[in-house]
Amino acid sequence: MENKEIELIVNGKRLDGRGLHDLRPIKIKVGVLEDADGSASVEWGGNKVVAGVYGPRECIPRHMENPYKAIVKCQYMMSTFCSLEEHGRMGPNRRSVEISKVIRQALENVIMVELFPKSQIEVYAIVLQADGGTRISALTAAVAALMDAGIPLRDTVIGVSVGKAGDKLIADLGKMEDNFGQSDVPIAFTNRDKDIVLLQMDGLLTKDELSKIIDLAFRKGEDINQLQRKAIENKYGETVSKRLRIG
């Protein structure tokens, strides 16, 4: 996993000049699509993701409906041009299916599905540009889109990737750190109660290191939460114009 030829940390600074715990620039915007019930775009470092939410609405196919709660469907996908290195293929692959699932399971923790029996809530995210940490960017966009849609949530969800590179514990891994670092831990948790709803890890860590980077994630989460709040407030600063349907 670790590539000793690339010095990821030099004099306490990372390849892009950031300090060990600095986040990349993050821009969140809600209400970017008109047809979707809720939508958001996230630019996180070099990542660009758009998410759209539909529902709650009638469950299709009917036989999948749950008589006690809404089912949540989630699809994360990457555009064919999101990677500099190659032209990807259209359609889902194993990785995108796995990511769709972990995002769905994270969101199911907070969406108040019991309010909408027999219906479905769909969350779609497309990565237009990838730069390390796409699943966290996608989750961030999805949460903002759900709030934009007015779907009731128990709490806001905050995601960030933390990990280890150059023997240092770092926050918000970029592409190089993701590919060549010592450990990558994407994590997402609820804002108020700090329930961890998404947690994955690769590489090697001690228990003490894991504990420290989770704390680091919680700390950085405060900054991200402020950005989420600002994004929502900005929506109401401008007039919101939705197309009226007439029939």
* Stretch 91-120 residues interacting with other proteins (CB under 8 A): 91, 110, 112, 115-119
Lay out the site mask for other proteins across 182-221 (x = CB under 8 A, - = otherwise). Answer: --------xxx-----------------------------
Reported in sequence order, the residue ranges of 130-177 that DSSP labels E, i.e. its strands, are 157-165, 168-171
**Is the torsion defined by CA of 89, 91, 97, 102 positive or negative?**
positive
Q: By C-beta, is 193 or 208 nearer to other proteins?
A: 193
- Pick the closer one to other proteins by CB: 18 or 235: 235
**Nearest CB to other proteins, comparing residues 126 and 176:** 126
With a CB cutoff of 8 Å and minimum separation 6, the contacts of 20 are: 9, 12, 14, 168, 169, 170, 171
Q: Of residues 130-169, which lie at the interface with other proteins (CB under 8 A)?
A: 130, 147-156
CB-wise, 102 or 113, nearer to other proteins?
113
* Run of H or E residues at 216: helix 207-237
Within 8 A by CB and 6+ apart from 171, the residues are 20, 21, 22, 23, 160, 161, 162, 213, 216, 217, 220
Handedness of CA 100, 102, 103, 109 (dihedral sign): positive
Residue 183 CB, shortest distance to other proteins, in Å, is 25
What minimum distance in Å lies between the beta carbon of 148 and other proteins?
Answer: 7
Compare residues 85 and 167 and give the one whose CB is closer to other proteins: 85
DSSP 3-state of 222? helix
Compute the least distance from the CB of residue 22 to other proteins, in Å: 21
Hey, which residues between 59 and 88 contact other proteins (CB under 8 A)?
Answer: 60, 67-68, 70, 75, 77, 79-87
